[in-house]
Amino acid sequence: MKFRFLLWALGLLMARASRKNPAFEQQLAGKDLTFQLQTADSRVARHFTVKNQRVTSRSGTVAEPAFAIVFKDAGYGFATLQAKNKQLAFMQGIQDKHIQITGNTGLVMWFQGLMKYLMPRKKKV
């Protein structure tokens, strides 16, 4: 349940950033694609559509995503996306075959680059 909620919240954050963050919008320029994050059994899945510099998301899978990140199970997906060092967690998961990537791997790197725009800004003291 936590993983399902995390994917929903990720969609919400990306949708908001695509409307309010010019730097995030810039990263979406020229992109027209759908990607998805899911568990290996597809019981928890969410797809994200990038079109006209906006992001929308819906529950479930699509037939032909530009790329898909498939986690071995919901618990592992949640832990990976919440890890302090996400890049290391992803690399370890791929190496251990707990994470599978299908489709365009270059777009996966683009997606990971988007995540820095979703982190809350630290207040200057």
Tokens describing residue 4 = 């399902």
Residues in the chain, overall count: 125
Q: What distance in Å separates the CA atoms of residue 76 and residue 100, rounded to the nearest whole number? A: 12
Question: Which pLDDT score, from 0 to 100, does residue 6 have?
Answer: 94
Question: Which pLDDT score, from 0 to 100, does residue 124 have?
Answer: 60
Domain region containing 36: 2-117
Question: Which pLDDT score, from 0 to 100, does residue 115 have?
Answer: 85
Decide if 122 is inside a domain.
no
Q: Which helix (H) or strand (E) holds 105?
A: helix 105-114
CB 51 within 8 A of CB 66: no
Decide if 56 is inside a domain.
yes
- CATH number, domain containing residue 98: 3.30.1050.10
Decide if 125 is inside a domain.
no
**Exposure of 119 in the CB half-sphere (CA atoms within 13 A):** 12
Decide if 123 is inside a domain.
no
**Count of structural domains within the chain:** 1
Average pLDDT, 10 consecutive residues per value, the chain (125 residues):
93 93 92 95 95 95 95 95 88 94 92 82 58
